[in-house]
Chains A and B, each alone.
Chain A
Amino acid sequence: MTLSQLALTIGLLAGLGLLAGRFGLSAIPAYLLAGLLLGPHEPHVTSLIEPSEVTTFVAELGIIFLLFFLGLEFTVDRLLRSGRHIGLGGTIDLTVNAAVGLLVGVIAFGFGFPALILAAAIYVSSSAVTVKGLIDFRRLADDETDLILAILVFEDIVIAGVLGFAAAGGTGVSSTLVAVAKALAFVTVSVAASRFLRKPIDAALGRLPGEFMLLATFGFLVGMAAIAKELGLSEAIGALMAGVVLAETSIREEIEERFLSFRDVFAALFFFVFGLSIDVGALDTVGWLVAVAVVLTVLAKLVSGYGAGVVGGFSPRQSLNVGAALVAHGEFTIILAQIAAGNDAISSGDRKDFVAFAGLYVLATATLGVILMKESKSIGRRLFPPRLA
């Protein structure tokens, strides 16, 4: 990737991102679309950028920053305070959508490891798209918003578990179990570190002057990602745990403030690079699958969100809002696909299909999800008209 190609890329990302924002849509599908346009597959007229070591590396940094920020939000205290909704609502969401995901996965790849990862990718909604929608559509003050956010937290925890074996599992039952064991050990050591080393880390990082604090934190983050990768896990779980270790320190807010722009830039590039590898030509093979999955997802998320709402004591209209807010898929679906694409245990044909599927699936659900979210209140008024007293 040359500088002029990078300039073109970033220009296109900013342009399409702004355009998406104009229509009230999330920027994630816009970034994917930019990658799809400039990538080596169809349309060939605009094929200007070849995936290379550089693009892979940039994408890796994007994953690292996305997961680091997720980890920074994970503290025991915060999880406990997510409130009463998290258990029941999260379980309903998991049961319904993972089942639907597994169904699609088995149809696509037969029963096996790729189907499991696809189930996770179809289960998990997009926190980024949903939270942006809640802010844009002025839903933050609504009571059901608590439930929506609690379900998203539950999903994040489940996906953190899946990341543990997504990169290494699949070669056989015993080696998958080894990968899971390694992931568990890594997570346990990191959580223990965050409990017992918090004070020394806090003191050491807090005393460093600004620039070196930045470098030391970045070094720690990349170091954790590298260790996880060397262990045969994914860099994602390493970055996540780096966030968890720093989540309880007093400098967490400063870290978030200083690294926010890094995350935004590299996350945008990550989605773009992923877009490069989407082969629209694969529509022949995965097109029908995407269509089936999108229809099933919309239905399953609406039903499970509605169910979680009703069980949580919300009105039918409020419950509909919950379902609509969870339709959009985004960052985690893409991250899972990217990690699966790096797993040699999955055949190269399946990997290619997986990437094309995830890209098109996110493009569709993120767009549809935002529209549904915007309209859910007026749909609700029509479906459940106010009873006249």
Chain B
Amino acid sequence: MAQDLRETRLPGVGTKFTFTTDHGSRVAVIQHLDGSRDLYVFRHAGDEEPSAVLQLEDDESRQLGAVLGGAYERPKIVEELEMALGELAIEWVQVPPGSPAVGKSLAECAFRARTGITIIAILREPEPVTGAQPDDVIQEGDTLVTVGKLGQYPEFRRLLTEGP
């Protein structure tokens, strides 16, 4: 466990995070003001020149962070669940701003009839809707929890953005 994670401000550049690994290497992450990151690796903590420097865009660093953090690791139980679900997927779909579905009830939108996808819950502030009913109305900023087959999602997303 790296105990010595240090945060330093680099005025005009961004923020620097450094720590030394148990194996004696030094890692520094520079977070630039524009959101991009540099990853400096010094094989030995005392090295003057970095062994490698990696330039990462914002989304790439997030992805790398997720991989390193174990978010992409699939516990065995999930694998079994996936088998059981087969082609069936549970997806969280955000209602895009300006969607024609906003202000309409689930019955009016008729997503299930048109695409085969079922909305099982709606996530919104302050109170999420669990067990969504046909007369529940979609609002700006909602996230829909849906069940359906993977192949049905492109059409569902199109309906949500453009309307029928």
Contacts and interface: CB of A to CB of B under 8 A. Distances in A.
Interface of A: 73, 78, 81-83, 127, 131, 134-135, 138, 140-141, 145-146, 149-150, 152-153, 256-257, 317, 377, 381
B40 A149 contact: no
A82 B13 contact: no
Contacts, number: 54
Contact of A153 (B12, B33, B34): B12
B96 to A, nearest CB: 19
Given A140-B40, A145-B10, A152-B11, 8 more contacts: A82-B9, A135-B13, A138-B50, A140-B13, A141-B38, A146-B8, A150-B11, A256-B33
B40 A153 contact: no
A135 B16 CA distance: 13
B11 A141 contact: no
Interface in B1-34: 8-13, 16, 18, 26, 28, 30, 33-34
A153 B11 contact: yes
A82 B30 CA distance: 15
Nearest to B14: A140
Given A138-B50, A141-B16, A78 B10 contact: no
Contacts of B28: 140-141
Contacts of A256: 33
Interface in B40-63: 40, 42, 48-50, 53
Interface residues of B, number: 20
10 contacts: A140-B38, A141-B18, A141-B26, A145-B10, A146-B8, A146-B10, A149-B12, A153-B11, A256-B33, A257-B34
B13 A141 contact: no
4 closest Cβ pairs, A-B complex = A141-B28, A141-B40, A81-B9, A140-B30
A275 B18 CA distance: 42
For the residues of B in contact with A, the DSSP-based class is strand
Contact of B48 (A73, A81, A127, A377): A377
Q: Which of B30, B38, B48 has the most CB of A within 10 A?
A: B48
B48 A152 contact: no
A81 B16 CA distance: 12
A141 B26 CA distance: 10
A131 B30 CA distance: 13
A377 B8 CA distance: 22
Contacts of A141: 16, 18, 26, 28, 30, 38, 40, 42, 50
A138 B50 CA distance: 8
A78 B11 contact: yes
A145 B15 CA distance: 12
A140 B49 contact: no
A149 B18 contact: no
Nearest to B15: A81
A389 to B, nearest CB: 12
Contacts of B13: 131, 134-135, 140, 149
A140 B16 contact: yes
Nearest to A74: B11
A146 B53 CA distance: 18
Nearest to A257: B34
Contacts of A146: 8, 10, 16
